[in-house]
Structure 1
Amino acid sequence: MPIVLTLGLAQLINWGVSFYLPGAFAWRIARDTGWAQPWVFAGPSLAMLVMAAVSPLSGRWLEHMGGRRVMCAGTLVCTAGCLTLATSTTLVQFYAAWCLLGIGMRLSLYDAAFATLAALYGSAARRPMTQITLMGGLATTVFWPLGNWLGDTWGWRTGVLVYGGFGLIAWALLRSLPPTPVRTLTTGAAHKARAPLPLPPALLYGTIMALVSILSSGLAAHLTSLLGARGLPVGLAALWGLGQVCARTLEWLQPRQASAVKLNLVVGYGLPLCFALGLAGMSSVFAAGVFIFVYGALNGLATLLRASLPLELFSHDAYARALGVLLTPAFALSAVAPWGYSVAREHWGDTAILRVSLVIGLLIAGAALSLRRLAPLAPAPQTCEESRSTF
């Protein structure tokens, strides 16, 4: 439990000071610097492209260096990115900061923690994965209000510097973990880990995660400013994190966790309904709150599926490699989301965000249904004892 608690707190901080940073500061940066919003939101998009470039290497680093060392390094790079961002006075410096944040995020966020837990627990890793996301899911609830308060009180530069200080706290938490054992594979296991992944499930998994990432990165960058533009309390955005935690808690409390493939179908069908509700009720505080809470819940489950689906679809020996390779399109395609959503808002108004998201939700539903039909082709998950024997 101490390991899970430490990882969870570190994830809460690292998500808050990196991925969710634009939600609190992007519009303030655009206002104070005079840079056009599309150029400001191109920064998070650039970070996603960097994450895509680093992703194929991250799996190898996790296998050969261990999760603690990789996550500590990534956290320090995120801190350096915050410091560079806070002191940037030109777009070149601004984009350099986001390049650093992109590297740091790929090495310090959930995927690195998930790969570490998968290496330790094999197919039994789903429950500890859920536990760390319970705390990590509070990142928006904690850091969006904190960021808005810092920005209103001392300005965005001081706020981002404070975020960098929190990054050092996350680094100290990760340093307190016991060293992560480095995997040593037998010749047979190494050949199995290098074997090609089953193509249809791999393509569908990669597609679903790419579409989910587009939604998450686009809405994370624009939700607070969208609420303000509609005359709604910005504090409603905190319901995103609350919804994530509630959904993950319910999933964790289940005496027998449902199949990840079946849960993926629930999320796929839920997303279009959620955005339909958002389109119908964003003028009402209550309806907007329900929409944000429900989306947060579905997004929280989608994050768990990002970690648990590969446990059912692929051999656990190939887990880190599978995430490194199959999530590369997710980072690359979601890179355009903050910038693309900004362009859509400028040309077609605020509701364009929700309309685009509804279409993406429908695509996720179709891909989830296709994956469910392929589920019998997926290899059976290994037992906990089998998973521990190779680590």
Structure 2
Amino acid sequence: MRRAVWLLGLCQCILWGVLYYSFSVLLVPMETALALPRTAVAGAFSVGLLAMAVLAPAVGRWLDLGHAANVTRLGMGLAVLGLGIVATANGAPALYLGWLCMGIAMACVLYEPAFALVIRAVDDDMHRVRALAAVTVMGGLASTIFLPIISVLVEQLGWRAAALVCVGAIVFAALIMEVWVVPSLPASGMSRSKFRSPRSGEWPRHMRPLVAIFASGTLASMALTTLLIPLLLQRGVAPSAAALVLAAFGIAQLPGRVWLLRGRGGMPTHVLKSWPIVFQVAGLIVVIVSASPWAMGAGVAVFGLGSGLHTLSRPWLIQRLYGVADVGRWNGEVARAQGLARAAGPLLMAGAAAMSSAPTVLIGIAGVLAITLPLAIRLPDR
């Protein structure tokens, strides 16, 4: 099972790299080749993110019915189809259709189905959180590994050929899932929620605080990644140095996950309830008050540490609160809120900064996160 978990993480790394992070590399070449404005090309990606968010609860319900393997197979097929359409697109309609397919695919293959496979296969709490940490450690390497690889492919082969290479990567990941991962992660006994089962359409106890906590965290991440480089340039930092500061965000998400992966003893509940928010607020404050790019980079790293723990805390907290049998349903509800924040965040943050300033927006986001800290602390440990 241990090998299957690490291979599952490898597949997540590949899928995040070619479905999510590839867009930032393909954006300018697609814009030039298709003679489309940047907003039109970016809109295709936003459509995909919106589809991913809207479908998250439905995907979660399918996962609860034990269909994780079939959901993943469907997602792999749609990912291949979507990337194939994008690679051969000659205008906006095909581009939007391709990214719509990829958005549906992302809902079916990124993290949620992987979390469902792990949570249902591992009984022990500590082993479960280590398995989740292993998957997110590998997934967290996606931008570091695939952004430079896809950049080289685009430079050497062109963006269309690079997209087709990404299709091959998805087929490779699908093969790993089919042969080694899914057969090695059978569902074990499934615990039920200690709370009463809600009626159809009704959220259970503690669900609203969870949505507020995780949607706010995602919005904060989008605010930082959207506003950081313009803020650094405004403060006189060179573009290359600004890019290095932002790079600290992705790298810093890993240490907290690695620490939990290597942890011993009982599960530190308070770590996954409150520390992610504390780190994110502290990191934003350092970014806001610092003038030096090195100090701002340290703030970004602290924020990234909290963001990395945040990703891991959602599936763990939800299965603790609502039981393994319903984890897909409630994971999906929270993922939908996060997905909407991810899709709308860049536009909202850029618009708010234009009306005020980037530091003002970041102060407001830090305040929102601070408000969610008491909500997190009040969540029950079991």
TM-score band, normalised by the shorter chain? 0.7 to 0.9
Q: Which residue of 1 aligns with 2:372?
A: 367
Q: Which runs of 5+ in 1 are unaligned?
A: 381-391
The whole-number CA distance in structure 2 between the counterparts of 1:137 and 1:363 is 25
Q: 1:241 to 1:362 in 2, by over 3 A?
A: same
Q: 213-222 or 82-91: which moved more?
A: 213-222
Q: Which residue of 1 aligns with 2:261?
A: 252
The whole-number CA distance in structure 1 between the counterparts of 2:176 and 2:149 is 20
Q: CA deviation at 1:8?
A: 0.7
The whole-number CA distance in structure 2 between the counterparts of 1:274 and 1:85 is 37
Q: Pick from 285, 290, 302 the counterpart of residue 294 of structure 1.
A: 302
1:120 aligns with 2:128: no
Q: Which residue of 1 aligns with 2:324?
A: 316
1:265 aligns with 2:268: no
Q: 1:203 to 1:19 in 2, by over 3 A?
A: same
The 8 Å contact of residues 18 and 166 in structure 2, kept in 1 or not, is answered as yes
Q: CA deviation at 1:58?
A: 0.9
5 Å matches for 1:1-391?
Answer: 1-122=2-123, 124=125, 125-176=128-179, 177-179=181-183, 181=186, 194-195=197-198, 199-216=204-221, 231-233=239-241, 234=243, 237-256=246-265, 258-281=267-290, 284=293, 286-341=294-349, 347=354, 352=358, 355-373=360-378, 375-376=379-380, 380=382
The 8 Å contact of residues 16 and 139 in structure 1, kept in 2 or not, is answered as yes
Q: Which runs of 5+ in 2 are unaligned?
A: none
* Structure 1 counterpart SS, 2:264: coil
Q: Provide the TM-score with structure 2 as the length reference.
A: 0.83
Q: 1:191 to 1:130 in 2, by over 3 A?
A: closer
Q: Provide the TM-score with structure 1 as the length reference.
A: 0.81
Q: CA deviation at 1:309?
A: 1.3
Q: Which residue of 2 aligns with 1:385?
A: none
Identity between Structure 1 and Structure 2 (%):
24
Q: 1:122 to 1:223 in 2, by over 3 A?
A: farther
Q: 1:369 to 1:133 in 2, by over 3 A?
A: same
Q: CA deviation at 1:31?
A: 4.8
* Structure 1 counterpart SS, 2:240: coil
The 8 Å contact of residues 7 and 174 in structure 1, kept in 2 or not, is answered as yes
* Structure 2 counterpart SS, 1:256: coil
RMSD of equivalent CA atoms? 3.4
- Give the letter aligned to residue 164 of structure 2: L
Q: 1:29 to 1:308 in 2, by over 3 A?
A: same
Q: CA deviation at 1:297?
A: 2.0
Q: CA deviation at 1:14?
A: 0.6
The whole-number CA distance in structure 1 between the counterparts of 2:111 and 2:192 is 25
Q: CA deviation at 1:120?
A: 1.6
Q: 1:29 to 1:339 in 2, by over 3 A?
A: farther
- Give the letter aligned to residue 239 of structure 2: G
